[in-house]
A = this chain, B = another copy of it.
Amino acid sequence: MKFGSDNQSGASLKVLEMIKVANEDYTHSYGDDEWTKQAIDELKKIFECDLEAYFVSTGTASNSLALSCIVQPWETILCHNYAHILIEESTAPEYFSGGAHMKPISQWADKVTTEYLKNYFEITGTDLPHNSPARALSITQASELGLVYSPAEVKALSTISKDNGLRIHMDGARFANALASLECTPADLTWKSGVDVLSLGATKCGALCAEAVIFFDKELSGTFIHRSKRSGHLLSKGRILGAQFVGWLRDNHWLELARHANSQAAQLSEMISSIEGLQLVWPVQANELFVTMPKTLAKYLREAGAEFYEWYLGALSTNIEIGDDDVLVRLVTSFRTKDEQRIEFCELIHQYFSES
Query: A-side interface residues toward B, CB under 8 Å?
Result: 2, 4-5, 7-11, 16, 19-20, 22-29, 56-62, 64-65, 72-76, 87-92, 94-96, 98-103, 105, 107, 116, 119-120, 123-125, 128-132, 203-204, 208-209, 223, 225-237, 239-240, 307, 312-316, 336
In the bound complex, how far is the Cα of B10 from the Cα of A28, in angstroms? 10
Instruction: Please name all residues of chain B whose beta carbon is closer than 8 Å to the beta carbon of A2 when the two chains form the complex.
Output: 26
| B99→A95 contact, CB < 8 A | yes
Whether B131 and A59, one on each chain, are in contact in the complex, defined by CB atoms closer than 8 angstroms, is no
**Among B99, B230, B239, contact of A230 (Cβ-Cβ < 8 Å):** B99
Q: In the complex, are the beta carbons of B105 and A99 less than 8 A apart?
A: no
- Bound: A88/B124 CA distance, A: 11
9 residue pairs, one from A and one from B, having the closest CB atoms: A61-B232, A10-B23, A94-B99, A7-B236, A129-B229, A60-B232, A90-B230, A74-B226, A2-B26
Contact A91 B105 (CB under 8 A): no
Q: Which of B59, B73, B315 interacts with A236 by CB under 8 Å? A: B59
Q: Are the C-beta atoms of A25 and B10 separated by less than 8 Å?
A: yes
Q: A123-B315, A231-B231, A235-B58 are in contact. Are A26 and B8 (CB under 8 A)?
A: yes
Given A74-B230, A226-B90: A105 touches B236 (CB 8 Å cut-off): no
B7-A237 in contact (CB<8A): yes
| Residues of chain B lying within 8 A (CB to CB) of residue A313 | 123
Q: Closest CB of chain B to A22's CB: distance in Å? A: 7
* Contact, CB under 8 Å: B90 / A229: yes
Specify which of A59, A88, A100, A132 lies most central, judged by the most chain B CB atoms within 10 Å of its CB: A132
* CB nearest neighbor in B for A116: B316
| Known contacts A73-B91, A315-B103, A204 near B132 by CB under 8 Å | no
Q: Which residues of B contact A22 (CB under 8 A)?
A: 10
Establish whether residues B230 and A23, one from each chain, have CB atoms under 8 Å apart when the complex forms.
no
Complex CA gap A60/B230 in Å reads 8
Whether the Cβ atoms of A105 and B230 lie closer than 8 Å is no
Task: Identify 15 residue pairs between A and B in the complex whose beta-carbon atoms are under 8 Å apart, listed by A's number.
Answer: A5-B29, A10-B237, A58-B233, A58-B236, A61-B232, A61-B233, A62-B232, A65-B232, A87-B125, A89-B130, A90-B129, A90-B132, A94-B94, A208-B237, A208-B240
Chain B residues within 8 Å of A226, by CB: 72, 74, 90, 128-129
